[in-house]
Amino acid sequence: MKTTTIAVHAGTRKDDSFGSVNQPIYMTSNYRLPTDGSYFDPTGINDFVYQRERNVNMLVLQDKLCGLADAEDCVVFGSGMAALSSVFTTFLKSGDHAIVSKVCYVSTEALFNEALNGKYGVEVTFVDTADTEAVKAAIRPNTKLIHMEDPGNPTTEIGDVEAVAKLAHDNGALLSVDATFGGLLCFRPRKLGADIEIHSMTKYINGHGDSLGGCVMGKKELVSKVRELCLVKYGGVLSPFNAWIISRGLVTLPIRMKQHCYAAQKVAEFLDTCPAVRFVYYPGLKDHPQHELASRVMENGYSAMMSWDLKGDRETHFKFLSALKLVSYAVSLGDVETLITYSESSDPKLQDYPEPFRAGFFRFSLGLEDPEDIIDDLTQAFRAAGLL
């Protein structure tokens, strides 16, 4: 089946008591057990005991994700960070070494620094994973996991997943990739050799800004370990309602991503030539540092995340933000509406970023609006800030 058909039909169960066409929400914490001494149904059809272990809506969502991503297995969690921490704590122990993208989601960095390294004795090296030679130089005999963000948050840098996967496997390590910025359909790291693919489903997969969730995909052997330790024992379960909400959002993902990518390309090209703009990083632009690599490994467009900055001081930046009418100044990404956040130069973490970012920048998530309307909104805000 084609992608749009899979998005509609994969995972759908037709076994409820009333013949509902739409998937019901199974809001129950536990299930009736068989009274004949057989604890589980060997067919797996009625293998439900307690919501933390599995519920119908979780299974529907997992099956749909496997269908769209061509994954052998998938497990979903209550948030993207629950999914990330489940991978790290499953495959790392005290004394192990991990290599992690130097520029990454702030909570990922904190998890490694404050918990895994600070409390539990996991050695961590942060490197620019877009530099394969830097990754190679960081490998130690006890390296067990390399973790990349690809495309990177917030720089949109693209690493050579295929080359890093070979390095990992040649040295007895696993490669996990947080591919949230790729929106599931634009970037498929497991096709390039990654062992584990992770997404914050809060973003593009759900797409409507109304639910948290995270997922881990890969071979059954690996995902089963994550499920058993972190879902069942840690309890980072996704509620049936949120699983239902995300499943509903996932149905339109192929259509949404087309518009996201279309709008992002148009707006990036506008920003790239606008005299009010200092720099733009978007993989779809030819002057992006990894544009050629992105063109080889990304599918169906370059997703809809970019970073850029205008020419002006702090006051000018906030005048611009205050003048926006369609674009919302808010965190998160992958929503139906366009979102913008601002990182100021006073943030010490920016010193690890590529040089253009160190003076401050906007992270920009293109929504589903017509790109001409977004361009008009940016233009009037530039004028209001005295930049045009």
DSSP for 229-282, written as a single string: IIIIII--PPPHHHHHHHHHHHHTHHHHHHHHHHHHHHHHHHHHH-TTEEEEE-
DSSP for 131-200, written as a single string: -HHHHHHH--TTEEEEEEESS-TTT-----HHHHHHHHHHTT-EEEEE-GGGTTTSB-GGGGT-SEEEEE
- Residue 369 neighbours by CB distance under 10 Å: 17
- Tell me if residue 36 is catalytic: no
Tokens 């002006």 appear where?
312
- Tell me if residue 363 is catalytic: no
Of 203, 227, 256, 363, which residue is the catalytic one? 203
Of 178, 195, 309, 335, which residue is the catalytic one? 178
Q: Residue 258: phi, psi to the nearest 5?
A: -60, -45
Of 105, 282, 302, 353, which residue is the catalytic one? 105
- Tell me if residue 105 is catalytic: yes
Q: How far apart are CA 264 and CA 365, in angstroms?
A: 8
Helix (H) or strand (E) holding 305: strand 305-310
DSSP letter at 348 equals G
Q: How far apart are CA 264 and CA 287, in angstroms?
A: 15
Of 13, 31, 47, 52, which residue is the catalytic one? 52
Let me know: does 236 contact 343? Beta carbons within 8 Å.
no
- Tell me if residue 178 is catalytic: yes
SS3 state of residue 299: coil
Question: At 374, which amino acid appears?
Answer: I
SS3 state of residue 100: strand
Any idea which residues carry the catalytic annotation?
Answer: 52, 105, 178, 203
